[in-house]
A and B are shown apart, each in its own frame.
Chain A
Amino acid sequence: MKVGALTRVEGEGGLYVEVRDGVVHDVQLRIFEPPRFFEGFLRGRSYTEPPDITARICGICPVAYQMSACRAIEAACGVEVNGPLRDLRRLLYAGEWIESHVLHIVMLHAPDFLGHENAISLAAADKPAVERGLALKKAGNDLLELVGGRAVHPVNVKVGGFYRVPTVRELRAFRPRMEAARDLAVELVRWVSGFEFPDATHDYHAVALRHPYEYAVLDGRVGSNHGLDVPDGAFGAEFTEDHIAHSTALHAHLVDGDHYLVGPLARWWLNHDLIGGVAAQIADEVGLERPVRNPFRSIIVRAVEVVAACDEALAIIDAYAEPDAPAIVVEPRAGTGAACTEAPRGLLYHRYTIDEAGIITDATIVPPTSQNQPTIEHDLWHLVEDTLVDGQFVLDHETLTHRCEQAVRNHDPCISCATHFLELVVDEQ
Chain B
Amino acid sequence: MTASTPRPRLAVWKFSSCDGCQLTLLDCEDDLLAIADEIEIAYFLEAGAADVEGPYDLSLVEGSITTPGDVERIQQVREASRALVTIGACATAGGIQALRNFADVQEYLAIVYAQPQFIETLDTSTAISDHVPVDFELRGCPIDKGQLLEVIDAYLRRRKPAIPAHSVCIECKLRGNVCVMVAHGTPCLGPVTHAGCGALCPSYHRGCYGCFGPMETPDTRALAGALTGCGMDEADVLRAFRSFNGWSEPFRAESRRHEVPVVLSARPNGSPRPTDRGDAP
Contacts and interface: CB of A to CB of B under 8 A. Distances in A.
Nearest to A107: B47
Given A34-B121, A44-B280, A149-B204, A135 B19 contact: no
A49 B45 contact: no
Interface in A220-251: 242-245, 248
B78 to A, nearest CB: 16
A197 B255 CA distance: 56
A46 B236 contact: yes
Given A62-B20, A152-B142, A243-B115, A420 B29 contact: no
B23 A45 contact: no
A134 B29 contact: yes
A420 B24 CA distance: 20
Contacts of A53: 96, 243
A160 to B, nearest CB: 13
Interface in A1-25: 1-6, 8, 10-11
A118 interface: yes
A171 interface: no
Q: Among the interface residues A6, A41, A150, A243, which one has the most CB atoms of the partner chain B within 10 A?
A: A41
A420 B48 contact: yes
A357 interface: yes
B20 A37 contact: no
A34 B46 contact: no
Interface in B215-269: 236, 239, 243-244
A209 B200 CA distance: 34
Interface string B94-113: 01110110010101110111
Q: Among the interface residues A2, A36, A149, A158, which one has the most CB atoms of the partner chain B within 10 A?
A: A36
Interface stretch (A123-131, A344-352, A374-382): A123-131
Contacts, number: 193
A119 B48 contact: yes
Contacts of A417: 19, 45-48
Contacts of B27: 137-138, 141, 151-152
Interface stretch (B66-74, B151-159, B164-172): B66-74
Interface string A110-125: 0100000111100100
Nearest to B142: A152
A43 interface: yes
Contacts of B205: 163-164, 326
A163 B206 contact: yes
B281 interface: yes
B29 A137 contact: yes
Contacts of A119: 47-48
A44 B20 contact: no
Contacts of A103: 23, 26
B48 A117 contact: yes
Nearest to B19: A59
B209 interface: yes
Given A40-B107, A60-B23, A245-B115, A34 B70 contact: yes
Contacts of A244: 115, 118
B112 A60 contact: no
Nearest to A9: B45
Nearest to B276: A44
A1 B110 CA distance: 11
A138 B142 contact: no
Contacts of A32: 69
B15 A34 contact: yes
A11 B18 contact: no
A420 B112 CA distance: 29
A35 interface: yes
A423 B48 CA distance: 15
Interface string B1-32: 00000000000001111111111101101101
29 contacts: A10-B14, A10-B16, A11-B69, A34-B70, A37-B99, A37-B100, A37-B111, A39-B111, A40-B103, A41-B99, A41-B100, A45-B239, A53-B96, A62-B20, A107-B48, A108-B48, A117-B49, A120-B36, A120-B48, A134-B32, A134-B33, A138-B30, A149-B204, A153-B20, A155-B204, A243-B115, A244-B118, A245-B115, A417-B45
Which 5 interchain pairs have the tightest Cβ spacing?
A59-B20, A118-B48, A44-B281, A40-B108, A36-B97
Given A2-B111, A10-B16, A37-B112, 9 more contacts: A36-B97, A52-B243, A58-B18, A58-B19, A111-B48, A119-B47, A149-B204, A326-B205, A418-B45
